[in-house]
Amino acid sequence: MLIEANMLDTKDLIWNPLLKLISYQKLSEHDQAIQQLNDLMKINPEFIAHSKEYISCLVKSEELSMEMLEAVRAVLNSQVNNSQ
């Protein structure tokens, strides 16, 4: 997924940083995942509050949607834990 995300040239869409965030989280590259979360929030500051809705609207597979959401939540949790 990271290779595909790096091929995207969509600077104003949430997909590029979202796919990278998920990929880095799966690879346990926490710093890079957090950077992608920050990039995602620059594009859409409302993403965190509505992440489930955004993902489920764009990904029709409930299983994949939940896996993506869990990855986003894991990065959010790691960011909160690192800031404490």
Domain boundaries, the chain: 2-83
Give the 3-state secondary structure of residue 48: helix
Q: Is the CB of residue 7 less than 8 Å from the CB of residue 16?
A: no
Residue 69: CB atoms within 10 A of its CB come to 17
The model's pLDDT over 49-82, given as tens digits with 9 standing for 90+, comes to: 999 999 998 888 999 999 999 999 999 998 777 7
Place of tokens 């800031």: 83
Name the DSSP letter for residue 74.
H
Residue 33: CB atoms within 10 A of its CB come to 26
Question: Could you tell me the pTM of the whole model?
Answer: 0.80
